[in-house]
Amino acid sequence: MSFVVRTLFILSLSFVGLYSAANPFPTEEDANNWFKQYTQSLTDSQTYQLLKQFPKGGDLHHHLSGSAYGKWWYELATNQALNGGYQYFTKINHSECDSAPLFHTISNTTHSKLTKCEQKQYKALNALSNKEQEAFIHSVELDKPEEGREEFFEFHWQRLSELTQNPYITAQVLLRNMQLYQQENVRYLETQMNVRLMNRADGSRFPPAEALKVITDMLDSEAAKATGVTVRFQYALVRFTDNIEAQLDWIFKFVDANRKWYVGINLVGREDDPRGQPTRFLAPITKLRAQYPAIRLSFHAGESEHADTNIRDTLLLGAERIGHGINLLKDPSTYLLMRHNRYLIETNLISNLKLEYIDDLSAHPFPQLLRTGVPTALSTDDRGMWDATLTDEYYLAFTQFNISWSELVTLSQNSIKYSFLQDEKKEQLLTELNRDLTQFLALIAESANQIPSANSKVQPLNSNVERYSDFICEFAASVCANEGNNKETTRK
């Protein structure tokens, strides 16, 4: 089947079965009207639980190293049975002999090579006091009012440092993500994961193929299979680093050799660094495209509050998906190009709010994109660093922008339709997703006369729901309130 024909077939699956005999509503309008009336009768907590059970398709914009909560990092870094036998030290004091930020974390091997003065500033991670443990955990979460973009870009990643170079920790972070996505009724995760600079416990380099095998062995485990979550990877290139041509050469070659797992390449990093402008990459990518069968591109662009041409220039590189796209409406010609076209915007509401690219959600272009035909899907970006979830993203969209049932369905379907997953698997997941969406609507309609309490959830699929994220409890305290509280002000 040709690419075009197969793509049209995949897109047509969006509409198959959603309004069939199994669906209690003969038309989309009937479903929208009923769902709006039904959800207006729910408290905020009930609405949140309903959205947690809603079949969400996938998460397409996901940095694996940014997806781990602070507690996960501490648990994995101090548990040698899970982390491959590594030991870590973290910086707990300032000194003139070491300029690294507090809680910069390094391996035992690196620590042994420091000067005596430098070593005094570090402490074994497993020897931290309770107070130091809490400080370490919060040091990699953006959870203080004064923290924002600079804290995130300039310090969070430096603190994680060598923890992100351990393939065993990476595998465990991925598994925990999959287990949480299972609870959120997510079928697919397309995450950005690099393996070139992974280290062994003795400090020597892991060959990239061996590091990848540590992670794919986990994906073949019973624990991973039990989640029902399909995973594929993108290889990420930091846009402002040196030796871009050599790095791209290596990445294209590696992705081409590992197409079972790697389905694309991403360009990441701050766009306000002049070294990372998209046009810098046009010549090397054009050259590499002549050497390899098509490798798909999903690049960060438009993650800015200022007008620029980065989204247009990124599309010129051959990108099919745009990460963030916050300033798209400030580039009218590119906005018109993307309407009713094949390019998707990966929307990250919480990230854009936390990193202060928008002052509040009312300034976000998401509803304009969604309702004028620019394909978009909700995703989490660096969920661990916001202490947030994909359900939180859906809750914000639903309550702040009056999202209809059919718009929820579109967002969920888009996260599979526009994925880079291999076509046969994509068709399978989209068929299963449409079945789940139909079943979900039928089951909540069936229970309409028995609206669940905040602690008794509708359970159309699997449900292991317990923990609320810190983000949602701060943003919408009524979601986390005890049963019996009335619906409050988060819904417009």
Q: Looking at residue 37, what is its pLDDT?
A: 95
> Of 399, 415, 433, which residue is a domain's last?
433
Same structural domain for residues 404 and 315?
yes
Structural domain includes residue 37:
yes
Contact 192, 236 (CB under 8 A): yes
**Sign of the C-alpha dihedral computed for residues 255, 260, 266 and 268 taken in this order:** negative
Q: Looking at residue 3, what is its pLDDT?
A: 40
Same structural domain for residues 448 and 429?
no
β-pair partners for 75: none
Instruction: Supply angle C-alpha 13, 177, 379, rounded to 5.
Output: 50
Same structural domain for residues 28 and 102?
no
β-pair partners for 235: 265
Same structural domain for residues 33 and 174?
no
Q: Which domain holds residue 274?
A: 57-67+167-433
CATH code assigned at 255:
3.20.20.140
> Of 124, 140, 156, which residue is a domain's last?
140
In single-letter form, the type of residue at position 41 comes to S
Token pair recorded at residue 85: 């036998």
Q: Looking at residue 463, what is its pLDDT?
A: 40
Question: Residue 61 belongs to what H/E stretch?
Answer: strand 57-63
Q: Each residue of 36-47: b (16+ CB within 10 Å) or e? A: eebbeebbbbbb
Structural domain includes residue 153:
no
Q: Report residue 275's pLDDT band, with 50, 70 and 90 as the boundaries.
A: confident
Count other Cβ atoms within 10 Å, centred on residue 306.
Answer: 11
pTM confidence score: 0.92
Q: Looking at residue 22, what is its pLDDT?
A: 64
- With 70 as the cut, is the pLDDT of residue 320 above it? yes
Q: Looking at residue 20, what is its pLDDT?
A: 53
φ and ψ at residue 256, rounded to 5 degrees: -60, -35
Same structural domain for residues 193 and 290?
yes
Same structural domain for residues 346 and 444?
no
Lowest mean pLDDT among 22-31, 86-95, 123-132, 238-247: 22-31
Distances (CA, A) of 458 to 21, 405, 468: 22, 16, 17
Structural domain includes residue 311:
yes
Q: What is the distance, to the nearest Å, from the Cα of residue 381 to the centroid of all Cα atoms in its chain? A: 4
Structural domain includes residue 297:
yes
Same structural domain for residues 245 and 284?
yes
Average pLDDT for 35-52: 96
Token pair recorded at residue 405: 């049932």
Same structural domain for residues 277 and 388?
yes
In single-letter form, the type of residue at position 401 comes to F
Q: Report residue 482's pLDDT band, with 50, 70 and 90 as the boundaries.
A: low
In single-letter form, the type of residue at position 474 comes to E
In single-letter form, the type of residue at position 346 comes to E
Highest mean pLDDT among 89-98, 288-297, 483-492: 288-297
Domain count, the chain: 3
Lowest mean pLDDT among 1-5, 189-193, 379-383, 384-388: 1-5
User: 333 exposed, middle or buried (CB, 10 Å; 0-12, 13-18, 19+)?
Assistant: exposed
Average pLDDT for 448-466: 44
Of 405 and 490, the structure prediction assigns the larger pLDDT to 405
Structural domain includes residue 491:
no
Contact 33, 390 (CB under 8 A): no
Same structural domain for residues 11 and 102?
no
Please provide the DSSP assignment of 361-401 as one string. Answer: GGG-SHHHHHHTT--EEE--BSHHHHT--HHHHHHHHHHHH
Lowest mean pLDDT among 122-126, 430-434, 453-457, 471-475: 453-457
φ and ψ at residue 185, rounded to 5 degrees: 60, 50
Q: Looking at residue 25, what is its pLDDT?
A: 87
Dist. CA 19–CA 27, nearest whole Å: 6
Structural domain includes residue 151:
no
Structural domain includes residue 490:
no
Average pLDDT for 41-45: 95
Q: How many residues does the chain have?
A: 492
Average pLDDT for 285-304: 97
- With 50 as the cut, is the pLDDT of residue 457 above it? no
φ and ψ at residue 229, rounded to 5 degrees: -95, 125
- With 70 as the cut, is the pLDDT of residue 180 above it? yes
Q: pLDDT tens digits for 422-438?
A: 999 999 999 999 999 99
Q: What is the distance, to the nearest Å, from the Cα of residue 324 to the centroid of all Cα atoms in its chain? A: 11
Same structural domain for residues 330 and 317?
yes
250-253 long-range contacts, CB within 8 A, separation 24+: 250/196, 252/288, 252/291, 252/292, 252/295, 253/292
At 156 the three-state DSSP class reads helix
Q: Looking at residue 466, what is its pLDDT?
A: 53
pLDDT above 90: percentage of residues in the chain: 82
Closest CA to 314 of 239, 376, 416: 239
Q: Looking at residue 61, what is its pLDDT?
A: 98
Q: Looking at residue 448, what is its pLDDT?
A: 72
β-pair partners for 301: 324
Structural domain includes residue 161:
no
Token pair recorded at residue 190: 């397309």
φ and ψ at residue 444, rounded to 5 degrees: -75, -30
Same structural domain for residues 291 and 236?
yes
In single-letter form, the type of residue at position 469 comes to S
Q: Report residue 450's pLDDT band, with 50, 70 and 90 as the boundaries.
A: very low
Average per-residue pLDDT for the chain: 90
Contact 306, 328 (CB under 8 A): no
Dist. CA 229–CA 223, nearest whole Å: 11
Same structural domain for residues 427 and 449?
no
Q: Looking at residue 146, what is its pLDDT?
A: 83
Q: pLDDT tens digits for 197-240?
A: 999 999 999 999 999 999 999 999 999 999 999 999 999 999 98
